[in-house]
Structure 1
């Protein structure tokens, strides 16, 4: 009797969710036609497809009620729900094509200004290589925006040495890529924003930009020698306002300490290699996501701020600057109405929210671009690659993971329920990225799948139940290779050290608990991993 009551309860809940989903899509249809860049009638009707997930849940509950083995129905539904987007992304990943130059480029390196917000070269092992790579790509201008006077002086001191080495062809970067001496044509300036805030440092650099394209780059991002040549063709379409690039993590040398024994050295090298590999896999997974979703419907969860290109006309406006420097989360002005009705009591007239946000700058830019009628294009090729340091040991990577996870819980709901542009502009990306990244905690979903299998009649009556269980576990484990193959292909030994030995799957499960923690601490706006006064 209790089982029947549970089934009726699930059908009722699924029915209510489906009704709510249909009402939401109807609202989106009206909302879309209030916008300046309104979708076509066909695209508007297509918004009804957003009700499919809730209809799928309702159908599952109804089939499970009539089925001989209800847990098996739920297991199949769970696997379909969990892995359909993986199949879709694989399909579009293979169909991806970067924009390529057809004839003479409309926009060249001479139309680009690079802004590098930095805290100075001290302690930054990639600084000289980063500057060299930019100079090799020959943009019109390079602007450093420092946080302190001391950092400004440091940059001024090293830039002359770097320029001299580049012109003599003495840099490690030039030797590595087989490049000879190079006459530096890029104009370099060093500005002091007098604040340790990436958003304000970037905006401070805007005043030096008079080129058509503005490029924002981290001070640890090292470009390919043909980086600009490979990325600028994306701007051939006037609809494209923002261009993202392929990310890669530098393979770091393993530490060796002659003062400790062999086994201690092996362990320290394994640990250091583990974190470097986790950093690499983190960005490789992002590459897979953005390449697939950008092919599918032009979508992307975020254009990484490590190196991105944007039309200057989009950001060089007072409206943008004000919004960029004053982004808050959960700041509700309509609380005044509730207070007037007496519903809030001592809470006052409005809720101030949290902010201004210093992190999440790349998410803000991505949302701003599409909300103002422009498209995003991802250039995912070897030449359009920037390489960075991630997972260095001793490390700040776990703190960075916290910041990135909090960003998801801050920014995805804004894109989904405040801006709402993505519902009709990137409808597939909504369901393959924006929603899943909010609930996709591998430990809980994998555990639920294994538990559900053990409750099925198929499992109970099987002559080899352990074979079924092991088969499911192997399948789940194998699916974690899909997005990570490029890294393991490049470094096959890491596959044995960190996947066959299940270090990476265990990291993914640790990250599940981290996501739960950050979901309840999303208002923490600290720039984790970058502690500055």
Structure 2
């Protein structure tokens, strides 16, 4: 074989291993990883938990659903933090539904970090759980979540997540993209965390922490002074929390038990693109901040995360990398009888790797195969969005919602009763995610 062909073959093998060894190892880990067991006499019970729900109060119905699920899990306290203008309305919703142990706090300006800190100062339990206002917990959720704290070295953790599938036999394109995004994200988090305890981001949709880690003036200063190139950050709060926990020597664990899967909603319309850009910018900013200011990411303890999270992030856009793999193989086998057979096999492998993480969802809803080709195309488009996000990191806005608008009162006094009736009526038709529903 000529020297040039040898070089191209070596490059192809190296790039294939670099790109796909994490996928192969991840598949094995995902299949055989076992969740944390619940102890007969657990160290922590629901009486040791305070749940904090920072909310923009974008949807009265969604917040009502969320609080209904959380209340059913019987935490010691629930602290809801919203704009001052809407405190009274949220209190009335909680009063009418007789939610357990709910206190509503107000802030003048909607800022998730300040909302979280305002509530943190009132926490008196050993464990604090942050929950977004668009998440829905299954029965006995806290029992499974608290199992991670049986290990005294664990300072924080979360569980598996799933985007709520819209009702009906067939869903729209945007709902499928949201489902696909979170299925892949959770798959990556579970596998890297299972191997060496690393994780790119402990998702803020629902995350649990030992209160003593966060309830301190040191953390409050750290959290509120987070910035990117001199620009204060309201976004990226979960990235900041993840970084703080790791940098203080604590472990983070993902509870992979299928009975602890939370549901959430994402934009099921073109606004989903704005969400993707915000997440991508947070991903780049968070990783670069860790690489600049921390040392744990390159330690021997998190060797797998170093490869998957920090080195692997530069495998974008996928269209370029996959195109390079195809081009190298085509050139290496130029004139060979196996040239096109090998190229077709490579394409099939690439398509399989982009589908593998969705297999659990597709087994539950085989009709969603209808959107799979479009989902694969979007996965390549997403790589281009990643590059655009990298070039626009100074954009730190939420993107899909206006906080200034949400700071206003959701209703005049005359409209409060109709709004409450609508929210509660819609809530009565809603069923919390049951364990059986999540396993099917």
**CA–CA distance in 2 between the matches of 1:415 and 1:86?**
24
* Partner SS state of residue 28, structure 2: helix
1:102 to partner: Cα distance: 2.5
1:188 matched to 2:87? The reply is: no
**Alignment correspondent of 2:199:** 300
**CA–CA distance in 1 between the matches of 2:78 and 2:5?**
68
* 8 A contact 2:9–2:328 mirrored in 1: yes
* 8 A contact 1:277–1:391 mirrored in 2: no
**Alignment correspondent of 1:89:** 26
- TM-score by structure 2 length? 0.87
Q: How does 1:302-381 map to 2 (within 5 A)?
A: 302-329=201-228, 353-381=229-257
1:409 matched to 2:284? The reply is: yes
Match of 1:431 among 300, 307, 317: 307
1:66 to partner: Cα distance: 4.4
* 8 A contact 1:326–1:355 mirrored in 2: no
Instruction: Rate the CA distance shift 1:328–1:279 in 2: closer, same or farther, 3 A.
Output: same
1:105 to partner: Cα distance: 1.0
Q: How does 1:359-508 map to 2 (within 5 A)?
A: 359-393=235-269, 395-424=270-299, 425-456=301-332, 458=333, 460-463=334-337, 465-495=339-369, 497-499=370-372, 502-508=373-379
1:198 matched to 2:112? The reply is: yes
**Alignment correspondent of 2:432:** none
* 8 A contact 1:109–1:139 mirrored in 2: yes
**Alignment correspondent of 2:175:** 276
* 8 A contact 1:409–1:438 mirrored in 2: no
1:98 to partner: Cα distance: 1.9
* Partner SS state of residue 480, structure 1: helix
Match of 1:135 among 68, 71, 78: 71
* 8 A contact 1:246–1:384 mirrored in 2: yes
**CA–CA distance in 2 between the matches of 1:438 and 1:449?**
15
* Partner SS state of residue 134, structure 1: helix
Instruction: Rate the CA distance shift 1:68–1:469 in 2: closer, same or farther, 3 A.
Output: closer
Q: Which string of whole-angstrom CA distances, capped at 9 and with x for unpartnered residues, describes residues 465-495 of structure 1?
A: 4333322212211111122212212111112
1:188 to partner: Cα distance: 1.1
Unaligned runs of 5+ in 1: 1-63, 164-183, 255-268, 330-352
**CA–CA distance in 2 between the matches of 1:124 and 1:410?**
32
CA RMSD of aligned residues (A): 1.9
1:65 to partner: Cα distance: 8.8
User: Greater RCO between the two (CA within 8 Å, min separation 6)?
Assistant: 2
* 8 A contact 1:133–1:222 mirrored in 2: yes
Q: Which string of whole-angstrom CA distances, capped at 9 and with x for unpartnered residues, describes residues 334-365 of structure 1?
A: xxxxxxxxxxxxxxxxxxx2321111111111
* Partner SS state of residue 435, structure 1: helix
* Partner SS state of residue 471, structure 1: helix
- TM-score by structure 1 length? 0.73
1:73 to partner: Cα distance: 2.5
* 8 A contact 2:52–2:130 mirrored in 1: yes
Aligned residue-pair number: 403
Instruction: Rate the CA distance shift 1:356–1:464 in 2: closer, same or farther, 3 A.
Output: same
**Alignment correspondent of 2:84:** 149
* 8 A contact 1:108–1:232 mirrored in 2: yes
**Alignment correspondent of 2:399:** 528
**Alignment correspondent of 1:212:** 126
Greater CA deviation, 132-141 or 473-482?
473-482
**CA–CA distance in 2 between the matches of 1:307 and 1:531?**
23
Q: Which string of whole-angstrom CA distances, capped at 9 and with x for unpartnered residues, describes residues 144-165 of structure 1?
A: 100x2222122112112222xx
Match of 1:518 among 389, 392, 397: 389
Larger Rg: 1
1:309 to partner: Cα distance: 0.5
1:108 to partner: Cα distance: 0.6
Q: Which string of whole-angstrom CA distances, capped at 9 and with x for unpartnered residues, describes residues 451-474 of structure 1?
A: 222222x2x212364333322212
* 8 A contact 2:197–2:252 mirrored in 1: yes
Q: Which string of whole-angstrom CA distances, capped at 9 and with x for unpartnered residues, describes residues 237-279 of structure 1?
A: 111110111101111136xxxxxxxxxxxxxx97x62111110
Instruction: Rate the CA distance shift 1:417–1:427 in 2: closer, same or farther, 3 A.
Output: farther
* Partner SS state of residue 100, structure 1: coil
